[in-house]
Structures are given as structure tokens and as C-alpha cells.
Amino acid sequence: MSHQQHHSETAFTQIGNRKEESLKSVSTPIYLSTSYRHSEVGHGNGYDYTRTGNPTRDVFEEAMANLENGDKAFATSSGMSAIQLAFSLFASGDHIITCRDVYGGSYRYFDLLEQKQNFEFTYWSGSDEHELERQIRSNTKAIFIETPTNPLMTNIDMTSVSGIAKANNLLFIVDNTVYTPYIQNPIDDGADMVIHSATKYLAGHNDVLAGVVVSKGEGISEELTYIHNSIGATLSPFDCWLVMRGMKTLPIRMRQHEGNAKRVMTYLKNQPLVKNVLYPGKGGMLSFFLDDENRVVPFLQTLKLFTFAESLGGVESLITYPATQTHAEIPEDVRSSYGLTNELLRLSVGIEHADDLIQDLEQAFAAIE
């Protein structure tokens, strides 16, 4: 079923339907078999060994490729293994430009590539196109961004970056975890690859670890197919099925996440103990600065509905303290220099009733005042 033929709500809901012909099951079966019987030498059914290809994973990957308007998708064992798969296209000595405000786990991996494999990374503000162009070197191979960025929620103009990437023959890679294919399709704006931590909004229930890479272009898709099979960091059939089940309700979840986030944003902007609120305009993520970092711990301890936990994108509302959790890998002086200070808290606004979420924040602010 092509994403182009139907509205995205229909494409998401119909994932896996009409994929099993022998018994006509509505829900895609979970094929746990690691091996597949061959009737004779040279005559298989397209499946040999589950790392190389699995019917359940194929359904998930095909759905992701369609939803992101790409050519091929690759389901991986985590969001970080999706980033690792994308970066396995590059070699020692290559230079990559990435955005300054980036997930701490990505920063940690890039630091590892610099230390162990002689990669070079330059961190770009995300706004000044001339600065981006000045950072391009003879050994630059790619531009990697998140948009919106995490946790400062900055939207980056993908069309502009894509133009610079194409003019300089660079690959353009976009982490689309925060907005999902329901809100934006980076390939339509010129990206060569899209990455998701499917753990987050795609699965949507804080119960599965998964990643996805979607590629556009025959050459890059063939190379990723070879590497994905060679490395073997593929997603298990059951976890593929779990993510697909979550994705069926992504559109209605995202609408509720976004509606709640906008209500919470309005409340926080009028709260005297909040210095600033960062919301990218869409989706369910927002960050805010308390007026004093000494209030952070008591505030977190007083919340009753918002769960103090890492991660994002699940139906339950979570609050994260990036300084000690998701972005602890980034040295304090580095993150403070671009605005990720110790007063910052990040909300993944869930699908509960907005009144209850605001009431929880209200009682926490009252307690720390």
C-alpha cells in the first residue's frame, strides 16, 4: 500500500493488513523462525536466515520506507544502532558536520568515532548557513542534523541544508525522531537518509527498544543492505510487530500529544518560576528553564503525574533532566555554552487529560515556591 495513494492516517492504520495470504490474517504474523526450508538446491522462497531477511521485519521496513517516501528501510536493534548503521557508510579520516544541540547519546558515539576511528566532527549552530558552508572541508562527507533539536527544540531549515549538501556532494542525514513521519518527511526536503529511534513515538508505549534508517537512492540503499546484513544489528520479529502495532495509532496519539503540549506550554509561559519555554511549534516535546537550578530537585520530587524518567514519545508523560540524564555525556561547559544549562527540564507530554497535567505542574510549583 503506497503512502502516496492514501492519507497518512490510513497508511499508518493499515500497516501489515493484507500481508499474509495463506490464512488471510488481518494482523501480520510474527515469524520467529531463524531458518527457512528449501525444497531443493537453489530454490528458496526468498528467505534463508532471519538476520538477512524476515517476513515480519520486511512488513515493518516496507511501511517505514513508504511513510518516509524513501526507497528502502532498515530496522535496527535501537536508535543508536540506526545511527551506527548510517555512519558505517563512512571511513577513518572522514569529516562530518552535525548540529551543536544534539542528543547526548549521539554526541557520545561521535566522540567514540573520533577517538577510535579517526573521524572528525564539527558542531554547527543550526541557524547560520554561511557558518555551515565555512565548515565544509575537502574530507567532509555528510551533514547530520536533528530537527527539531533535542532538548532545545530548534527547527532547522532542511531545504537550505539540503541545497548546501547537494552543492558540495555531501550526504544529508536527518534524525526525525521528535516529529515522526506523521508531521514531517525529511526526504521530501532533500534528505538522503532519515533516522528514527523507534523506541519513542513510533512504538509509543515505553515498552520496546528499536531504530530505523530510511534511505533514498539506489546506491546508498544497496550499500546499507549489505552492511545491515553484515553487522547483524537487526530488530527482532516480535519487536518489529510491537512497533507496527504502536504505529497504527500514531496519528491520533500525535494529535493528542500536540494538543496537550500546547496547553502545557501556555501554562508554563505564564508561570512566574519559569524563565523561558522552548516549543518547536508542533509535536509533544517542550523544554523550559526554572528561574533557579536549586529548585530542580524539589520540583522533580513533588510531581505526581509526570514521571521523572529518561526517554520520550510514550503515551505517559515524562519529565527529564538533561544535565544528569540524556545529555550527561556532554561536558557542562560545552552544553552551557549553547544554552543547555542546569535549569533546563524537558517534557515529553503524554496523552492524559491536559487539565490533570497542568494541575500536577501547578501543585509542584506551589510546593517549591
Same domain, 254 and 242: no
Please state the φ and ψ torsions of residue 363, each to the nearest 5 degrees.
-70, -30
Annotated active-site residue 200? The verdict is yes
Of 19, 141, 200, 335, which one is the catalytic site residue?
200
Same domain, 116 and 218: yes
Q: For 39-90, what is each residue's pLDDT tens digit?
A: 888 777 789 999 999 999 999 999 999 999 999 999 999 999 999 999 999 9
Residue 331 domain boundaries: 250-368
> Does residue 288 lie in a domain region?
yes
Distance CA 284, CA 129 (A): 28
Same domain, 183 and 90: yes
Total domains in the chain come to 2
- CA nearest to 62, candidates 46, 73, 47, 51: 73
Predicted local confidence at residue 365, as pLDDT: 98
Of 47, 51, 71, 109, which one is the catalytic site residue?
51
Of 58, 94, 175, 192, which one is the catalytic site residue?
175
Same domain, 243 and 255: no
- Mention every residue, 6+ apart, whose C-beta is less than 8 A from residue 109: 80, 83, 84, 87
> Does residue 202 lie in a domain region?
yes
Predicted local confidence at residue 271, as pLDDT: 98
Predicted local confidence at residue 336, as pLDDT: 93
Same domain, 220 and 285: no
> Does residue 213 lie in a domain region?
yes
| Domain finish residue from 247, 269, 293 | 247
Residue 203 has pLDDT above 90, yes or no: yes
**CA 181 to the chain's CA centroid:** 10
Same domain, 31 and 67: yes
Same domain, 179 and 275: no
Same domain, 315 and 243: no
Same domain, 255 and 142: no
Sheet containing 72-76: give its strands across: 72-76, 211-215, 193-197, 171-175, 140-146, 95-99, 120-124
Own/partner pairs for 227-230, CB < 8 Å, 24+ apart? 227/85, 227/88, 227/89, 228/74, 228/76, 228/85, 229/51, 229/52
Q: Omega into 151 within 30° of 0, i.e. cis?
A: yes
> Does residue 3 lie in a domain region?
no
Q: For 240-293, what is each residue's pLDDT tens digit?
A: 999 999 999 999 999 999 999 999 999 999 999 999 999 999 999 999 999 999
> Does residue 2 lie in a domain region?
no
Model confidence at 6, pLDDT cuts 50, 70, 90, reads confident
CATH code for the domain in which residue 318 is found: 3.90.1150.10
> Does residue 212 lie in a domain region?
yes
Q: How many CB atoms lie within 10 A of CB 170?
A: 20
> For the residues 326-352, what does the mean pLDDT come to?
94
Same domain, 38 and 153: yes
Of 58, 72, 100, 103, which one is the catalytic site residue?
103
Distance CA 122, CA 99 (A): 8
Record the pTM. Answer: 0.96
Annotated active-site residue 103? The verdict is yes
Distance CA 32, CA 27 (A): 15
**Amino acid identity, residue 6?**
H
**Which grid coordinates belong to 235?**
530488530
Model confidence at 124, pLDDT cuts 50, 70, 90, reads very high
- CA nearest to 57, candidates 69, 73, 44, 43: 73
Same domain, 226 and 187: yes
Minimum mean pLDDT range among 4-8, 143-147, 195-199, 224-228 = 4-8
Residue 139 has pLDDT above 90, yes or no: yes
| Domain finish residue from 221, 247, 273 | 247
CATH code for the domain in which residue 53 is found: 3.40.640.10
283 dihedral zone (left: phi>0; alpha: psi -120 to 50; beta)? left
| Domain finish residue from 226, 247, 268 | 247
CA torsion, ordered 177, 64, 242, 240, to nearest 10 deg: -110
Same domain, 358 and 292: yes
DSSP per residue, 182-212: HH--GGGGT-SEEEEETTTTTT-SS----EE
